[in-house]
Amino acid sequence: QLSALHTYKGVLFSSLSSEEVLKSLDSFDAREDDVFLVSYPKSGTHWVAEVVENIPSAGITLTSPIELGDISKFEELKMHSKRRVIPTHLSYDMLPVTVKQKQCKIIYIVRNPKDTAVSLFYYYKDNPNLPSIETWAAFLELFLKGDVVYGSWFDHVLGWEEHKNDKNILFIFYEEMKKEFAKSLKKITTFLDINVSDSEMSKIAQKTSFSTMKNNAVKENCDPNHIICALTSDRNLVFRKGVVGDWINYFTPKQKTVFDELFGEKMKHSELGRCLQEYL
Ligand code: A3P
């Protein structure tokens, strides 16, 4: 059954990530100039990937996710001669050891977990690689328990936040990208040491707007060279609403209370949690 998930190191993965690829992550040979694009699913990974791809003179190749596929994966990644930008939804713990040793640059994208949960609910509904969960209420329960692909949102974010002072890691918020795109873009280009003019910046903004990306997805659908999330090769599944605060249309007052209590408990010492508070 294609949509069955499997557990590896206590975390759920889709069948698109084979156990052998997960087992062999530490055999991946990182290059010093690799850039990793990391996120919990549905945090805006495709958006940031598109932004990075559209930076002129970046000289990069966006690869498919490191945890997608089988063991031939690592040979395939060796073929790229340009600077690689490698997306992944892996936890910090599972990241290949050479990436940590070589202190590769890492962009971690974070989004408020209520919108992330709603977005993931629809991904489960629409994505044939994920099991079908009948109701929002049932899905939310799984989400809060961490019984969803890539595990608990809280564990993912907190695991990465432990490394927030590492100089090679940049944290980017989905909500800030929406509100102050130029500011987020500047953070990204500065982090990658790439100069971008103001006119180039506004071109990037146009090319990576939600509507442009959604329209392009229809045209370039299923381009096997453009897979960013290890959960789908169908880009049409990705561009749903693209807004901040859609959760309000799904959470009952009771669900909000339960969520807020858990968030308060899990995130009580978290700076990222404090940054996200205004969106909850
Ligand atoms: P919604 O389901 O809330 O619409 P990921 O790329 O990590 O899978 O995240 C997908 C989410 O990012 C979806 O959220 C999608 O609509 C949103 N998204 C994708 N491209 C976007 C863009 N250019 N601007 C704003 N949101 C975008």
Write down the ipTM of this complex.
Answer: 0.99
Query: How far, in Å, from the CA of 42 to the mean position of ligand 1?
Result: 7
Query: Whole-prediction pTM value?
Result: 0.97
HEC readout, the chain: CCCCCEEECCEEECCCECHHHHHCHHHCCCCCCCEEEEECCCCCHHHHHHHHHCCCCCCEEECCCCCCECCCHHHHHHCCCCEEEEEECCCCCCCCHHHHHCCCEEEEEECCHHHHHHHHHHHHHHCCCCCCCCCHHHHHHHHHHCCCECCCHHHHHHHHHCCCCCCCEEEEEHHHHHHCHHHHHHHHHHHCCCCCCHHHHHHHHHHCCHHHHHHHHHHCCCCHHHCCCCCCCCHHHCCCCCCCCHHHHCCCHHHHHHHHHHHHHHCCCCHHHHHHHHHC
The percentage of residues in the chain with a pLDDT greater than 90, rounded to a whole number, is 90
Residue 114 near ligand 1, beta carbon < 6 Å: no
Closest Cα to atom 2, ligand 1: which residue?
A: 119
pLDDT per residue as tens digits for the range 132-169: 999 999 999 999 999 999 999 999 999 999 999 999 99
CA of 197 to the centre of ligand 1 (A): 26
Residue range 76-128, pLDDT digits in tens: 999 999 999 999 999 999 999 999 999 999 999 999 999 999 999 999 999 99
- Mean pLDDT, to the nearest integer, of 217-229? 77
Q: What percent of the chain lies above the pLDDT cut of 70? A: 98
pLDDT of res. 256: 98
Taking residues 49-70, report their average pLDDT: 93
User: Could you list the active site residues?
Assistant: 89
Candidate of 47, 176, 247 to mutate for ligand 1, largest count of ligand atoms within 8 Å of Cβ = 47
Q: Does residue 4 or residue 6 have the better pLDDT?
A: 6
